[in-house]
Amino acid sequence: MVSTGSVEASRAGVRILEEGGNAVDAAVAAALTLGVSDPGGSGLGGLTYVLISTADGRDVAVDGSSPAPYVVDHKELIAIKEDEGRFGHTVVSVPTTLATLVHALDRYGTMRLDEVLQPAIETAERGSRLSPNSLAWASGYMKEILASRYMRFIVLEDGQRLGQPGDTFCRPDLRNTLARIAREGAETFYRGRMADEISADMARNGGFLRKVDLARYRVPEAAPLRSRYRDAEILAFPPPGGGAEVVETLNILGTFPSTFIAGHSVERLHVMVEATRLARADQIGASTGSGSMFGPSNQNAAYARERAALITPGRAIPESQIGDAGAVSVLGEHTTQVSVVDRDGNVVSLTQTLCRQYGSKVATPGLGFPYNSCLEFLDFENPQSPVYLSPGGTFPTNMAPTIVRTGDSVMALGSAGSDRIPPSICEVVTNIVDRRMGLRDAVVAPRVLWNSSHDPGRVCVEVADPIVEADAESLRRMGFDTMYILQYPPDPVADSAFFGGVNIVAYNSRTGVFTGVGDPRRDGFAVGPRVVAEPGD
């Protein structure tokens, strides 16, 4: 079963499963195809986290964090941060997605890179369908897209027109780039002719990225964070990912009775918000060294009870007490999630991003993919900042691919949504574990999320049954006076994307049943392979 943020990517993953590949092969194919069908949210110019649990018992986090180039102008980057809305070659950090996917494929997959690239190559040649969400995002950045002589042809028909939902958009330059990688391997991107092209383009346009940054990049692995929520085992992505926040939020929620979390009440919504606030403050403290580091103590019941004791019914915890007065979103606004499970029990949860929609809004002529804009969000001046980064170092993100085992079932999930990623994941987990919802209802259920940014609001509420506007007003009276309330049906439809994009798959080994759900908030699409019975099955 495969669930991703586009029809084409999910079908690419399924095609690989039908051809005999495992979940890792399928996830890599889907991720590469997302760079074609959803180039605003992912692609060769971005970064990727991969959480893998193999059928033979290996659990690993493949950390595709994006380092800063070794030579940067701190003053220029500080000025960019102060000039909101800046973009361009200057804010590009090292693209790590291709190296990360190839690393996962070589170590845990069964197929060759050229084989798993084929669906992406064909999608770029034949075209992918434009979605209302992708068109809304592009419309919001039309000025920046039109400012680039080349980028406009990656996003707009004939470099001028936005197109309509359902239109088919072909990407011939990206098709040729993917075909080159299929022939020459990832080596060309990091140490060969393509690296030369990337480096020369950056030098011409004031970017800091050079071939030496690409050539020196190596993909590290780490052990996943492990925890339990009720009777479920949780595998979460370790720092610099956002899995620590997922684990601690669930630990805090676990101090409350399951029956309380299962019901609908304003009090439950309040607890869900505060649990995330507390975990977020600890995550930021871990990033700066000024607060509670995420370690074994943060994962035990005693620490969870200590943090949960700060939650007072009917009143928001004062910012001075919780330690989040200066909390800000770590990354930008757009990510995308791939979740895959195969019949042997291999499970993959993969999250990738360009840091902002269409990243830096620039691309190297002829290559066909946009670069990330991650340096835009970083602080090279203040070591106490949660997003401080020294040259060559990596930075924390909110991306949190997650794997959950409960009873006979194993699930892979993750989300889009910047700092709404961890709370979105936790809401779905509690819907499954406490509220006993099926996967569809668990994903579709309305969410109340904590948002670190003051814009559009710190507490974000989807008003849909059973949540009513009076619930949002009750939270406001508790002291959450900065709110974003989304009425359903949303207008425009893309506003629902603010509440995450949880794509989830599950496999029950006892019944042999696969289940997948794509989050409708971000064009999620789940599909499974055609099953052909073998003689004797």
Residues constituting the chain: 537
Quote the pLDDT of residue 293: 41
Give the range with max mean pLDDT: 74-78, 238-242, 518-522: 518-522
What is the SS3 assignment for 64?
strand
Average pLDDT over every residue of 137-152:
90
Q: Quickly state the pLDDT bin for 81 (edges 50, 70, 90).
A: low
Q: Residue 248: how many CA atoms within 13 Å on its side-chain side?
A: 30
User: Which string of DSSP letters, residue by residue, matches 293-318?
Assistant: --SHHHHSHHHHHHHHTT-BTTBPPP
Confidence of residue 210 (pLDDT cuts 50, 70, 90): very high
Per-residue model confidence as pLDDT tens digits over 336-357: 999 999 999 999 999 999 998 9
Instruction: Give the count of beta carbons closer than 10 Å to the beta carbon of residue 406.
Output: 18
Beta strands 409-414 and 402-406 are antiparallel
User: What's the confidence (pLDDT) of residue 72?
Assistant: 84
Quote the pLDDT of residue 445: 97
Q: How far apart are the first and last CA of the chain?
A: 20
pTM of the model: 0.94
For residue 495, report the phi and psi dihedrals to the nearest 5 degrees: -60, -25
Give the model's confidence band at 537: pLDDT under 50 very low, under 70 low, under 90 confident, else very high.
very low
Residue 328 has pLDDT above 70, yes or no: no
CA–CA dist 391, 68 (Å, integer): 5
Residue 313: band (very low, low, confident or very high) from pLDDT cuts 50, 70, 90: very high
Give me the long-range contacts of 381-386 (CB less than 8 A, separation at least 24): 381/74, 381/78, 383/288, 384/288, 384/289, 384/290, 385/288, 386/284, 386/287, 386/288, 386/327, 386/328, 386/330
| Mean pLDDT, all residues of the chain | 90
* Position with higher pLDDT, 407 vs 186: 186
- In one letter, which amino acid is 306? E
Backbone angles phi, psi at 28, to 5 degrees: -65, -45
pLDDT class for 24, splitting at 50, 70, 90? Answer: very high
Return the percentage of the chain with pLDDT > 90, whole number: 73
The pLDDT value recorded for residue 536 is 46
pLDDT digits (tens, 9 = 90+) for 58-67: 999 999 999 9
Check if the beta carbon of residue 423 is closer than 8 Å to that of residue 450. yes
pLDDT at site 447: 97
Buried b (16+ CB within 10 A) or exposed e, 354-366: bbbbbbbbbbbee
For 265, the 3-state DSSP assignment is coil
How many other CB atoms sit within 10 Å of the CB of residue 388? 18
SS3 436: coil
The whole-number pLDDT of residue 324 equals 55
pLDDT of the residue at 197: 98
Q: What is the pLDDT of residue 390?
A: 59
Q: What is the β-pairing status of strands 459-463 and 483-487?
A: parallel
- For residues 396 and 246, the model is more confident at 246
Tokens of 381: 């001046």
